[in-house]
Structure 1
Amino acid sequence: MSATSAGGDKGNGVWALVRACLFLALLLSGIWWVLVDGDNGSWPLGAPAVALAVAVGVLAGHRAPTRWQLGGWLGFLPFFVVRSVLGAFDVARRVYHPKVDLTPAFFDYRIRLTTATAQVFFANAVSLLPGTLSAQLRGDQLVVHALDATQPVQRDLAILEERVARLFGQTASLAETSE
């Protein structure tokens, strides 16, 4: 019985590795495709780059997230795209306005997400949205740099965190705002 059990565990490990490789390959291929504006002629360079990045990612121990929720993605992607576009317009407005209207500041934000993967994803998502940058992640504390402290940064971070929580299928209530 132990031989079967050990063989089953080994099989699960192989499938986990295959899933991780496929996930990373699809994710990185999508990123490549976006970066080259859908130019299919770039794949002679892109395919080896993606393969190398997958190999490095797997060797570094990265695994495919197994707890993402499809419904979470369906809610997160439109939210993220809309926020990115609005943020880009805000940055463009500030660049082309004769008087630059900036009030930069650092904020401490207590992350209520329960897994390290979700916390790191959240920190990276904060940095990808224009006007904010994750400066440091210490346990459940995220230091965020914002271009404009007069904006509701804490509220916006809480909204983003709620979306990330749904993405990872976390049911813990995030309704209260961070301090």
Structure 2
Amino acid sequence: MHKDTIVIREIEVEDNPKIAKAIRSVLVEMGAPKVGTAYEDRSLDAMKETYTDLKKAYFVLAQGNEILGGAGIAQLENYNGNVCELQKMYFLPEARGKGLGAEMMKTCLNFAKQVGFDHCYLETLPYMKDAQKLYEKVGFKSLSEPLGDTGHYSCTVWMLKDL
């Protein structure tokens, strides 16, 4: 697999089952609980339909007809403030270690700025250290408690970035 054959693009309807399978596969691989994480989100099987509002977008890593991962931006749920959330950023093993995470972050954060968000929030699992390093590298800072209520109570690492 060559990085130059992988594109970042907005999700399409036919990508729905592929991204759902990829995300669930990564969560299982990482030993994440199936409850209190994205694994059980109903939106996971209808990502294109979930990210249709003007201030929402979901991007996938595509190589031909294969979907290798993705990430999205949406208003932070149950929170009063101009804060978006980086959502469901997961990559299959073959897409890791190639700089694609940084490219995906750039795409998502640029979208968030373009639609007028002031801050970007995220939640992750404490043992997803590589992801946390990437988030810190692009300017996310750790928080001592969550913002809003995403329903992902198993994710106990919270971070915020000024846009």
TM category (shorter chain) comes to under 0.3
| TM-score, with structure 2 as normaliser | 0.28
More strand by share: 2
Name the structure where helix makes up a greater proportion of residues: 1
Larger Rg belongs to: 1
TM-score relative to the length of structure 1: 0.26
